[in-house]
């Protein structure tokens, strides 16, 4: 029986840990593994190149590669490696990240993120789907082709999205949208309609929504609550996320309220957790991208969670 479309985010503490987690997820019957990228932790693209050699069937995806620090030609060349090592299994998630990271950490001016991402994805699609980019824009002027004789891999290009305009843009130009810590009702009431409206503008079928869901895999309600609050607190302090939470009906100015955790975090074990994730999928999301919160040994939690998903097929 086919796997439920429920993937897990793997850690990037060390490259060995990340590759081991990806290989274990395949052995445990996992549908997909995802990794964030950027910063000074081990590089997700390099990790997936190694993981591709340890796996044969599981889907691999970045969620996401920050676009500003890396030219689209460079990222396209990295995607070619994954296309060779894991044909048909790699999905390239990209996004602008956030001002506090791009300007505060990298020291790069963001300008107009939506416009920047439109140009960035256009170049990626030209290279990875058509084999050649001849592009002039506000941020990029590109003349590049794949090596002679190289067939474009047509790697799916996914966009991160947080607010309506970003979901709309994903619907218009990307092969999918990836949410991050967006409450369930926000996905249903804001994200999915915006994706559909963007697709309508481009006269295309709406691309899938990959819904990020934090999961506290434990029956200890106090532990679930504490880990969920710790996980969400850093997002509540970031202006972009705080505004999204407010738009979803959750005021985080005085911390993370219980109502936000109930609207976003899934907790429990066994079939109960899988049924809650099915509820997320029933809203219209094509996949669930699960972040397993630290409720125990990471490898054990991943194994037990994926066993529950497998047993619920």
Q: Which residues lie across from 93 on neighbouring strands?
A: 158
Please compute the mean of the pLDDT values over residues 266-275 and round it to a whole number.
Answer: 96
Predicted confidence at residue 100, as pLDDT, reads: 87
Mean pLDDT, the chain, as a whole number?
96
pLDDT higher than 60, residue 183: yes
Q: Using CB atoms within 10 A of its CB, is residue 109 exposed (0-12), middle (13-18) or buried (19+)?
A: exposed
pLDDT higher than 60, residue 2: no
- pLDDT tens column, 72-128: 999 999 999 999 999 999 999 999 998 889 999 999 999 999 999 999 999 999 999
pLDDT higher than 80, residue 313: no
- pLDDT tens column, 218-239: 999 999 999 999 999 999 999 9
pTM listed for this prediction:
0.96
Q: How many CA atoms lie within 13 A of 117 on its CB side?
A: 26
* Secondary structure letter of residue 107 according to DSSP: -
Please compute the mean of the pLDDT values over residues 56-60 and round it to a whole number.
Answer: 98
Q: How confident is the model at residue 1 (pLDDT cuts 50, 70, 90)?
A: very low
Predicted confidence at residue 213, as pLDDT, reads: 98
Please compute the mean of the pLDDT values over residues 300-305 and round it to a whole number.
Answer: 98
Predicted confidence at residue 38, as pLDDT, reads: 82
Q: Using CB atoms within 10 A of its CB, is residue 66 exposed (0-12), middle (13-18) or buried (19+)?
A: buried
Predicted confidence at residue 9, as pLDDT, reads: 98
- Quick check: 233 and 239 in contact, CB under 8 A? no
pLDDT higher than 90, residue 244: yes
**Helices 221-236 & 239-247, crossing angle to 10 degrees?**
120
List the domains of the chain with CATH numbers. Answer: 6-311 (3.20.20.30)
Q: Which residues lie across from 210 on neighbouring strands?
A: 178, 287
- Degrees to nearest 5, angle at CA 145 with 143 and 150: 175
**Helices 164-173 & 113-125, crossing angle to 10 degrees?**
20
């Amino acid at each position: 029986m086919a796997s439920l479309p429920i993937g897990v985010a793997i850690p990037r503490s060390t490259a060995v840990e990340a590759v081991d987690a990806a290989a274990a997820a395949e052995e445990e019957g996992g549908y997909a593994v995802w990794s964030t990228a950027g910063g000074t932790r081990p590089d997700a693209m390099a990790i997936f190149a190694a993981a591709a050699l340890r796996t044969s069937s599981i889907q691999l995806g970045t969620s996401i590669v920050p676009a500003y620090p890396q030219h689209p030609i460079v990222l396209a060349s990295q995607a070619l490696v994954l296309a060779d090592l894991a044909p048909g299994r790699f999905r390239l998630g990209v996004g602008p990240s956030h001002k506090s990271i791009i300007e505060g950490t990298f020291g790069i001016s963001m300008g107009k993120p939506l416009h920047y991402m439109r140009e960035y994805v256009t170049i990626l699609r030209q290279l990875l789907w058509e084999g050649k980019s001849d592009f002039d824009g506000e941020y990029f002027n590109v003349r590049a082709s794949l090596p002679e004789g190289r067939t474009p891999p047509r790697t799916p290009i996914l966009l991160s999205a947080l607010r309506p305009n970003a979901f709309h843009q994903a619907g218009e130009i990307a092969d999918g949208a990836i949410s991050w810590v967006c409450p369930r009702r926000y996905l249903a009431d804001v994200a999915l309609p915006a994706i559909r409206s963007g697709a309508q503008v481009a006269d295309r079928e709406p691309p899938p929504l990959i819904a990020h869901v934090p999961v506290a895999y434990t029956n200890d309600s106090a532990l679930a609550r504490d880990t969920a609050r710790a996980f969400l607190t850093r997002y509540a302090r970031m202006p972009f996320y705080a505004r999204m939470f407010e738009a979803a009906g959750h005021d985080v100015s005085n911390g993370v309220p219980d109502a936000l955790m109930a609207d976003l975090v899934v907790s429990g074990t066994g079939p109960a957790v899988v049924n809650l994730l099915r509820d997320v999928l029933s809203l219209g999301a094509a996949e669930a991208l699960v972040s397993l919160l630290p409720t125990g040994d990471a490898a054990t939690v991943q194994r037990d969670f994926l066993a529950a998903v497998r047993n619920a097929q």
